[in-house]
Amino acid sequence: MAHQINFFLTNRRTFLGFVHWNLTVLIGVLLLSTSAAATPETKGTKIALDQSVLNAIITNNAILLFCEQDRTSAKRFLADGIQLFEQGTLESRQLALKKFLKALRHWKRGGFCGRPDREAATLHYIGRTYDDLGDKQQALDYYKRALRLFRDPILRDYSSQTKILYSIANIERDRGNLNEARTQIEAAIKIIESLRIKIASLKQRTSYFASVQDSYDLYIDLLMQLHKQQPSQGYDTLALQISESTRARTLLEILAEAKVDIRQGVQASLLEKEGNLRSQFDALEQRRAKLLSDNNNQQQLQTLEKDVEVLLESYQQLQTKIRTTSPRYAALTQPKPLTLAEIQSSVLDENTLLLEYSLGKERSYLWAVTKTSITSYELPKRADIEAVAQQFYYLLKMRHYYLNSDREVGADSGVGSFNSSRVVAQLTQMLLQPVAHKLGNKRLLIVSDGALQYLPFAALPLPGTSRTEVIPLFAKHEIVYSPSASTLGVLRQERIVRQVAPKTLAVLADPVFSKVDERLQKTPVEFLKQTSTRSATADGQTPTLQDPLQSARELGIKFNRLTFTRQEAQQILKLVPTTDSLKALDFEANRAQATSSDLSQYRIVHFATHGVLNSVHPELSGLVLSLVNAWGSPQNGFLRLHDIFNLNLKAELVVLSACQTGLGQEVKGEGLIGLTRGFMYAGSPRVLVSLWNVDDEGTAILMQKFYSAMLKEGLLPAAAQRKAQLEMLQNEQWQSPYYWAGFVLQGEWK
């Protein structure tokens, strides 16, 4: 007995940590002792009872102490295993497996004081390790054991469930068990689609989002593999619909990560209720995490689960009300992708061919859809396509590259060494050759993916043309782009009720980015007085340069003055009477002007300024307007996604000139998606956006030709753009695609 007491006296901190739950028993003993002391006959009983209870307490806490030692060992082995696992080598994975198995033994030995969340995580890591080492059966066994724990109503970890279901589906797909794989991935997709709100904590949400794209990609691949086996069962049609759903979810993730607080197109009271419900979910998830660390709170966890279900019901009722009262907001936040029949009836016409690309880890796919047919094609994997696409993108930003060039590019390009003509031929073979026989003379509606979203298809050669006499694709086809086919359906619904703006053109161009700008140094007092009295902080925004500067540093972009944007603005403004236009140059090209109600008066809004398309952090994408005012004081000049989605435009076209991405970085499409979809939501069915910064006379001439074709000849934007490009191509001075291929039209062509 003395030995046991001494053991706990030397481990007092651990002992005290566990003894609190025995407090009721101890109090009972004290009360009994007090009572027994008044009766001499029961004195012996008191002593015996005290000794018995003390033995019970010591035994119970001995068990708890040993459990805690197991917990500590398990956590150490798990942490060591993760560190080894992340090294990624065969040897480190083998060592990691040993650590994980030791951790699992300790979790299991912990018995009733174990940690089911940590045990499930350990099982998941063991499954991943066996998976990477090639032992698929062992991997499946451990994945399923982990899944059972993660599905427990008390633990209820949806993020981990989606990851494990994806892993199981991946193994079954590789084994040829396509139907079983489909069952597993559809279970993951169901979680993604219906339980998004439950992923409340930021840590879980980030992890959850990362697994979404992989799940959709695998689902598409499975359906297309089933289509290959059973081509008449409509699996390719279902895969196209999943592709559409993927694009809608990608946008939602961008908005969530960017913390875009959309206020336009929805009742403020409904937004407030939605925000309150989300906050309650977040509080419940934080409480769940706290309770999970204490294994003696099962009843409280069950009560919490019931609270979550009540909140979910309230949230679903609110979403139904939002769909009824705020259809524009609902179409963005509760997207319902169009079916094939809806795409064919409400989006396509007889002269338009939809080419929708989906890039995947193992294979990529292309769907060619007309008003009466759908045909699908298997393409190379994402990595192969994007590697060549980035090399082509590099070529297009070279002023002296021509379509018939045959030049060697060195490794210092940032995208590897390559031959230009070979890259063009490879990309054409990958993207257009499979569907060449369907092109005819049709308008091409391109829904691209990944790095292809920064690729102007207009600069690709027509399939079958020779290397020496290259004919660009746009010479025969009008080309338009869209974030998704479903987006066009939404835009057309919105146009039915949209009012037409009374005036023609608003131009914001040539802002002032630095207090050493010559316009600031030479500005007379009289000009200062005439400058717009709006300051960029008039709307209550705190002046900060952190966001644009951070985004620019990440991308290697400098906010130098865009000299030719002034010439560009002046030339297009000449086409419109001054009474029918807004001219905002220099200091007047500021954030306050861009967010004012003035812009809702114009059918065309033209921004000739730095635009940042940040794929790594889409939330930092936006437009950079004047960063100093006429007195040289710093001001907030960054028009972020939040601002863009909350603009109230009645435009038919928004033009974003001088946008750019970083040099040498991995080019994805998220920055472009967020920016263009933001202006579409704000009220413009079309966005003409530049894919690289072309600040020279060539862009000014291209824009003048484009606007002349629209405003003087009455052409629609898509046709006007093609006409302007053809005229540039025919002029020897501007034949390089650098000058004419940098703009793409996103959205409506009608």
- Where do the structural domains in the chain lie, given as residue ranges? 2-63, 192-337, 340-485, 500-695
Residue appearing with tokens 């069950």 = 302
Give CA–CA dist 108/605, Å, rounded.
Answer: 65
Q: Are 227 and 459 in contact (CB under 8 A)?
A: no
Predicted local confidence at residue 55, as pLDDT: 55
Looking only at the bridges linking them, the beta strands covering 503-509 and 581-585 are: parallel
Nearest to 511 by CA among 560, 462, 438: 560
Predicted local confidence at residue 431, as pLDDT: 98
Tokens of 652: 């038919």
Is 434 exposed, middle or buried (CB count within 10 Å of its CB: 0-12, 13-18, 19+)?
Answer: middle
Q: How far is CA 441 from CA 186, 477, 478, in A?
A: 39, 6, 9
Tokens of 211: 């697994």
Which helix (H) or strand (E) segment is 581 a member of? Answer: strand 581-585
Nearest to 196 by CA among 215, 221, 169: 215
Residues in the chain with pLDDT < 70?
1-70, 109-114, 194-211, 252-261, 263, 282, 285-286, 288-298, 323, 521-558, 615-620, 660-672, 695
Give CA–CA dist 198/316, Å, rounded.
Answer: 12
Give CA–CA dist 457/652, Å, rounded.
Answer: 23
Q: Which residues contact 69 (CB under 8 A, 6 or more apart)?
A: none
Q: Report the largest interatomic distance among the alpha carbons of the chain, rounded to a whole angstrom.
A: 119
Please give the span between the terminal C-alpha atoms of the chain, in angstroms, as a whole number. Answer: 91
Burial 562-596 (b: 16+ CB within 10 A, else e): bebbbbbbbbbbeebeeeebbbbbbbbbbbbbbbb
Give CA–CA dist 356/484, Å, rounded.
Answer: 8
Q: Are 126 and 100 in contact (CB under 8 A)?
A: yes
Tokens of 605: 């809004």
Q: Compute φ and ψ for 645, nearest 5 degrees.
A: -65, -20
Estimate to the nearest angstrom the gap between the alpha carbon of 684 and the chain centroid.
22
Q: Which residues contact 485 (CB under 8 A, 6 or more apart)?
A: 244, 338, 343, 347, 354, 356, 369, 445, 447
Is 347 exposed, middle or buried (CB count within 10 Å of its CB: 0-12, 13-18, 19+)?
Answer: buried
Q: Compute and round to an integer the Cα radius of gyration of the chain.
A: 32
Strand stretches in 386-527, DSSP E: 408-409, 418-419, 443-447, 479-481, 503-509
Among the residues of 134-234, which ranges form H helices? 136-150, 158-174, 178-194, 202-229
Is 361 exposed, middle or buried (CB count within 10 Å of its CB: 0-12, 13-18, 19+)?
Answer: middle
Estimate to the nearest angstrom the gap between the alpha carbon of 377 and the chain centroid.
26
Predicted local confidence at residue 299, as pLDDT: 74
Residue 519 region, left (φ>0) first, then alpha (ψ -120 to 50), else beta? alpha
The domain defined by 340-485 folds into Nucleotidyltransferase; domain 5 (3.30.420)
Looking only at the bridges linking them, the beta strands covering 408-409 and 418-419 are: antiparallel
Give CA–CA dist 471/36, Å, rounded.
Answer: 106
Among the residues of 230-337, which ranges form H helices? 235-257, 268-292, 298-325, 327-333
Predicted local confidence at residue 722, as pLDDT: 97
pTM over 0.85: no
Question: How many alpha carbons fall within 13 Å on the CB side of residue 124?
Answer: 23
